[in-house]
């Protein structure tokens, strides 16, 4: 099945650093979602984006829906240990984000002590 390209594949940072990751697609999506997955658990929704160009924040997280509707980025500011995990972007053709999702390849975030 189709997957979205996420980069970087993995990141090793120190606590307190800012993080940036992005997701690109060859086709248009109407909704972009960002999830975080901890080991052995299901994905947890972080941010949902419904409009091209939209910039949305959730605490230290900020995400933007690319104007071309083919990309999105997620920024995490002042990283903390609990930010460790795998981050997935996901896109859907639905305007409400309630149809099947196409997932990105994931970005694994590790914090170096």
Smallest separation (angstroms) from another protein to the CB of 56: 12
Q: Is the CB of 12 or the CB of 96 nearer to another protein?
A: 96
Q: Is the CB of 42 or the CB of 113 nearer to another protein?
A: 42
Q: Which helix (H) or strand (E) holds 70?
A: none
Smallest separation (angstroms) from another protein to the CB of 16: 27
Please answer whether residues 74 and 63 qualify as being in contact, where contact means their C-beta atoms are separated by less than 8 angstroms.
yes
Q: Is the CB of 2 or the CB of 14 nearer to another protein?
A: 2
Q: Is the CB of 66 or the CB of 104 nearer to another protein?
A: 104
Please answer whether residues 24 and 4 qualify as being in contact, where contact means their C-beta atoms are separated by less than 8 angstroms.
yes
**51-64 burial, b for 16+ CB within 10 Å, e for fewer?**
ebebebeeeebbbb
Smallest separation (angstroms) from another protein to the CB of 44: 8
CA-CA distances (angstroms) from residue 3 to 40, 55, 94?
21, 23, 17
Q: Which residues lie near another protein (CB under 8 A)? A: 1, 3, 33, 35, 40-45, 48, 50, 88, 92, 96-98, 100-106
């Amino acid at each position: 099945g189709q997957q979205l390209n996420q980069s970087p594949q993995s990141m090793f940072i120190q606590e307190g650093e800012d993080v940036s990751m992005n997701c690109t697609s060859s086709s248009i999506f109407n909704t972009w979602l960002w999830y975080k997955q901890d080991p052995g658990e299901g994905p947890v929704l972080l941010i949902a984006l419904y409009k091209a160009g939209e910039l949305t924040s959730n605490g230290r997280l900020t995400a933007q829906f690319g104007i071309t509707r083919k990309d999105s980025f997620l920024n995490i500011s002042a990283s903390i240990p609990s930010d460790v995990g795998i981050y997935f972007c996901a896109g859907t053709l639905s305007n409400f984000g309630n149809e099947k999702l196409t997932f990105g390849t994931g970005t694994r975030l590790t914090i170096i002590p």
